[in-house]
């Protein structure tokens, strides 16, 4: 067997372990990541393996941590900064936008000016954590030039993408869905680096394209099952990378199917889906049989009530409804 069953949480832990063992410049910093093992247990056991030099527990000061990570990267280290909830990444935006992603540009792209750092953070709702701990804010960061954004939907992709992110010489935002941490799947035993910027066709089809990433990718799979029972052949694509986008894969699929539903967990207005629709309209307009459909969270804070939370966030039914609307156009 060249593969092993792992949860996404354990796959991320494995990737961190392997990269720290491979490269002594890699270290992890963040709040409660040592003795406690991280808010969701992702870094459990790493303090015992790598000690306080490898696992740096920090005060609650996200902006300061981002500054330290950027400075460490400029000095040749490869920091992996864990931000406990994506909601708290709003506190690091100044350091990201005005410093980390700009240094290479401001120094003319010199090879000796590199900022190899990774920002890991759990995102999304579904656990009734309330308005300030349940957001999907990737749309905010998509507007920052020079910041790579990765969102795995499987344990294998989580390990392979994180390893690629750590080895990259530029800032990378690595998003982990809270509800996928315990999802299990086959993970290759070899290095299995996954290239940044390459989407994956999860289900091949010909009638409509379902385009998504992260947690909503599984919703698209479920919606595809329903549509297949209705006699349609949907194609499901996992973006995996939001920046850079695999525009060729997106265009190729939409040119084939002529219909597309883009799905995200973030809010609708100004979100990732809006950018995807622009890419589709610019590159595959004359292949479209119906207008692109967007499925996203309502433009509201995420409620604490599980019932209301489920109403605000996108679901499988929303994807099916949008798909049937497109197919009947």
Measured distance CA(323)–CA(329) in Å, rounded: 10
Q: Is 208 left (phi over 0), alpha (psi -120 to 50) or beta?
A: beta
CB 319 within 8 A of CB 295: yes
Give per-residue pLDDT as tens, 39-56.
999 999 999 999 999 999
Residue owning tokens 């992702």: 42
Q: How far apart are CA 201 and CA 253, in angstroms?
A: 9
**pLDDT average, residue stretch 13-31:** 97
Average pLDDT over residues 176-193: 93
Domain definitions of the chain by residue range:
3-188, 200-327
Looking at residue 110, what is its pLDDT? 85
Q: What integer pLDDT is reported at residue 264 of this predicted model? A: 98
The span from the CA of 296 to the CA of 293, in Å, is 10
**In this predicted structure, which of 108-117, 151-160, 162-171, 244-253 has the lowest mean pLDDT?**
108-117
pLDDT of residue 180: 97
pLDDT, position 191: 84
The reply to whether domains 3-188 and 200-327 share a CATH topology is yes
Q: Which residues contact 227 (CB under 8 A, 6 or more apart)?
A: 207, 208, 234, 320, 323, 324
The whole-number average pLDDT for the span 200-217 is: 97
Percent of the chain's residues with pLDDT above 70: 100
Fold observed for domain 200-327: Rossmann fold (3.40.50)
In this predicted structure, what is the pLDDT of residue 2?
87
* 133 counts as catalytic: yes
> For the chain, what percent of residues have pLDDT higher than 90?
95
Predicted local confidence at residue 109, as pLDDT: 81
Q: Is the pLDDT of residue 59 over 80?
A: yes
Q: How distant, in Å, are the alpha carbons of 38, 88, 123, 190 from that of 132?
A: 19, 8, 11, 39
pLDDT of amino acid 64: 94
Structural tokens at position 87: 């909601």
Q: Which one of 9, 78, 104, 133 is the catalytic residue?
A: 133
Q: How far is residue 194's CA from residue 108's CA, in Å, rounded to a whole number?
A: 29
149-164 per-position pLDDT tens digit:
999 999 999 999 999 9
**Average pLDDT of the chain to the nearest whole number:** 96
CATH number of 3-188: 3.40.50.970
Structure confidence at residue 1 as a pLDDT band (50, 70, 90)? low
């Amino acid at each position: 067997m060249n593969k092993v069953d792992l949860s996404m949480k354990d796959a991320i832990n494995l990737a961190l372990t392997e990269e720290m063992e491979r490269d002594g410049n890699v270290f992890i910093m963040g709040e409660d990541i040592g003795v406690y093992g991280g808010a969701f247990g992702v870094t459990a056991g790493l303090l015992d393996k790598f000690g306080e030099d490898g696992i740096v527990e920090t005060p609650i000061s996200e902006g300061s941590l981002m500054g330290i990570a950027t400075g460490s990267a400029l000095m040749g280290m490869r920091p992996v900064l864990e931000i406990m909830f994506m909601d708290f990444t709003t506190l690091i935006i100044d350091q990201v936008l005005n410093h980390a992603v700009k240094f290479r540009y401001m120094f003319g792209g010199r090879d000796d000016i590199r900022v190899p750092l990774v920002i890991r953070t759990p995102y999304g709702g579904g656990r009734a954590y309330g308005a300030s701990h349940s957001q999907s804010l990737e749309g905010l960061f998509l507007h920052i030039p020079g910041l790579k954004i990765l969102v795995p939907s499987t344990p294998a992709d989580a390990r392979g993408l994180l390893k690629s992110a750590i080895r990259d010489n530029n800032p990378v935002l690595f998003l982990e869905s809270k509800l996928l941490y315990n999802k299990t799947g086959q993970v290759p035993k070899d290095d299995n680096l996954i290239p940044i910027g390459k989407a994956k066709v999860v289900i091949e089809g010909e009638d409509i394209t379902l385009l998504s990433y992260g947690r909503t990718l599984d919703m698209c799979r479920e919606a595809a099952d329903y549509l297949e029972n209705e006699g349609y052949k949907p194609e499901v694509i996992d973006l995996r990378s939001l920046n850079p986008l695999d525009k060729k894969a997106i265009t190729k699929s939409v040119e084939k199917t002529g219909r597309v539903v883009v799905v995200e967990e973030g809010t609708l207005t100004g979100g990732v889906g809006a950018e995807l629709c622009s890419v589709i309209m610019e590159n595959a307009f004359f292949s479209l049989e119906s207008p692109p459909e967007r499925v996203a969270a309502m433009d509201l804070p995420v409620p604490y009530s599980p019932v209301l939370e489920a109403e605000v966030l996108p679901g499988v039914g929303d994807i099916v409804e949008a798909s049937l609307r497109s197919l009947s156009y």
